[in-house]
A and B are shown apart, each in its own frame.
Chain A
Amino acid sequence: MDSATSDPAAAGDPAPRPPLRASADNGLKIVVVGGFGAGKTTLVRSVSEIRPLSTEETMTRAGEALDDVSAVRDKNATTVAFDFGRITLDAHNVLYLFGAPGQERFWFLWERLFAGALGAVVLVDTRRLDDSWYAIDRLEQHGTPFVVARNDFGGPDFAPGAIREALDLDPDVPLVNCDARTRSSSKRVLIALVEHAKHRYRNSRPGPRSYDGQVPVRQEELPL
């Protein structure tokens, strides 16, 4: 499916997507992280009020968003593509859902792109649990609230305890089952995440990087 819908020349044409309300003034982000084929875009699509769109950002190796076109020519630039959808929550708040591959080599890009996110959903496929290890490590290190959602692909039906063990999940991190194709199921995953975040911040007022007494881990320096 073609995820972008119009040419630049036609961008002002009436689009088959509801515009935001004129009062909308606060954009919020949730990131859906997962390995290839884990169902990130499926989840985004099932709850989004618009057909998911795709765009890309050019970043330097140092992870800075790059607005400098001349540097695109240089080898220090990397292009990352991501899908997103949106949910109008009320007159003011609009939630954007971003699907991001969780693989190690792009993680430093996501960290900056999605700074200020409410939290993350780690979508796992039980046939490929190891795809999620890196993402979980980094979310823990950063103190970003997250839930793990097991997308039901009809894969091995592991008991929750076995999945927790395989992922070495902290007992406080919610593990939920979902069918990412279903709106109600995807909605429950998002609710579980926000409830978790709310609980977390209620119990620890300091910033998101210093909860649970965990020492924030410095972002590793990447060679330029």
Chain B
Amino acid sequence: MNRTAGQPTGQPGNGRGGSGGSGGSGNRPGRDDSPDRLYTLTGGRSRSAPDSPFDLVTLVVAESDPAPGMQSEHAAILRLTERPMAVVEVAAMLRLPVGITRVLLSDLLAAGRVSARHPRRTAVTDPDILEQVLVGLRNL
């Protein structure tokens, strides 16, 4: 059984500890961030919401420009989302874990600074949407 290589490491807490076997791609977002830094980023809040509205592929769009004095991550998100960008892509660009990114996005959503275009849940079983996906793939 050599299935452990390259698996995500399940290091709780301090992300530095024992990351020697983490697959070699390095620079994982958040991996080198201490929980304390992440805690500071989110103002120590707990969850963004019991049911975070942000799916990995929810598309986020800025509704305003960055304002002076704004937290730098919030400003960065507003710059990234001048055109729609999925939550997962925002997280990767910021090099932050998706959960932390969701908290930051929830702040901006609550302040009306971004809007969220959620995936249509029924789309995955809707033959019309599936046909649109097929057309798009065939045109690649």
Give the complex CA separation of A111 and B139 in angstroms. 30
CA of A172 to CA of B13, assembled, Å: 44
- Cβ of A153 under 8 Å from chain B: no
A191 x B28 contact (CB < 8 A)? no
Contacts of B98 in A (CB 8 A): 55-58, 65
- B47: Cβ under 8 A from any A Cβ: yes
Is A101 interfacial (CB-CB < 8 Å)?
A: yes
> Which residues of chain A are near B7, meaning CB under 8 Å?
36, 101, 103, 105-106
Give the size category of B's interface with A. 35 or more
**Which residues of chain A (76-94) have a CB below 8 Å from chain B?**
76-82, 84, 86-90, 92-94
Residue in A8, A57, A76, A201 whose beta carbon sits within 8 Å of that of B95 in the complex: A8
Give the contacting residue for A89; candidates B9, B11, B133; CB below 8 A: B133
Q: Are A191 and B134 in contact (CB under 8 A)?
A: yes
Residues 31-46 of B, flagged 1 when their CB comes within 8 A of A and 0 if not, give 1000100110010101
Q: Which residue of B is nearest A76, CB measured? A: B12
Q: Does residue B111 face the partner (Cβ distance < 8 Å to A)?
A: no
Count of chain A residues with a beta carbon within 8 Å of a chain B beta carbon: 84
Task: Please give, as numbers and ranges, the residues of chain B lying within 8 Å of A84 by CB-CB distance.
Answer: 88-89, 92
Question: Are B52 and A65 touching (Cβ within 8 A)?
Answer: yes
CB distance from B1 to the nearest CB of A (A): 10
Query: In the complex, what distance in Å separates the CA atom of A208 from the CA atom of B35?
Result: 38
- B29 interfacial by beta-carbon distance below 8 Å: yes
Whether A56 contacts B86 by the Cβ 8 Å rule is: no
B10 at interface, CB cutoff 8 A: yes
- Asked whether A79 lies within 8 Å of B31 as measured between CB atoms, the reply is yes
> Which residues of A are found within 8 Å of B79, using beta-carbon distances?
11-12
Q: How many A-B residue pairs have CB under 8 A?
A: 252
- Indicate if the CB atoms of B3 and A208 lie closer than 8 Å: no
Residue of B nearest to A37 (CB): B6
Asked if A181 is at the interface (CB within 8 A of a chain B CB), the reply is no
| Known contacts A57-B99, A69-B44, A89-B132; is-contact A28 B93 (Cβ 8 Å) | no
B136 touches A86 (CB 8 A): no
A218 close to chain B: CB less than 8 A = no
| Contact indicator A24/B91 (Cβ below 8 Å) | no
Q: Check A54 against B55 for contact (C-beta < 8 Å).
A: no
Residues of chain B lying within 8 A (CB to CB) of residue A21 = 83-84
8 further interface pairs, Cβ-Cβ under 8 Å (given A6-B95, A67-B100, A81-B31) = A4-B95, A20-B59, A26-B117, A27-B57, A56-B98, A73-B35, A81-B23, A96-B88
Cβ contacts A to B, 21 pairs, < 8 Å:
A11-B80, A26-B129, A55-B88, A55-B98, A65-B52, A67-B46, A69-B44, A70-B46, A72-B38, A73-B35, A74-B13, A76-B12, A95-B136, A96-B57, A96-B86, A98-B56, A101-B6, A194-B130, A197-B124, A198-B131, A207-B125
* Chain A positions near chain B (C-beta within 8 angstroms): 1-9, 11-12, 15, 19-22, 24-29, 35-37, 47, 53-58, 65-70, 72-82, 84, 86-90, 92-96, 98, 101, 103, 105-106, 113-114, 116-119, 131, 183, 187, 190-191, 194-195, 197-198, 201-202, 207-208
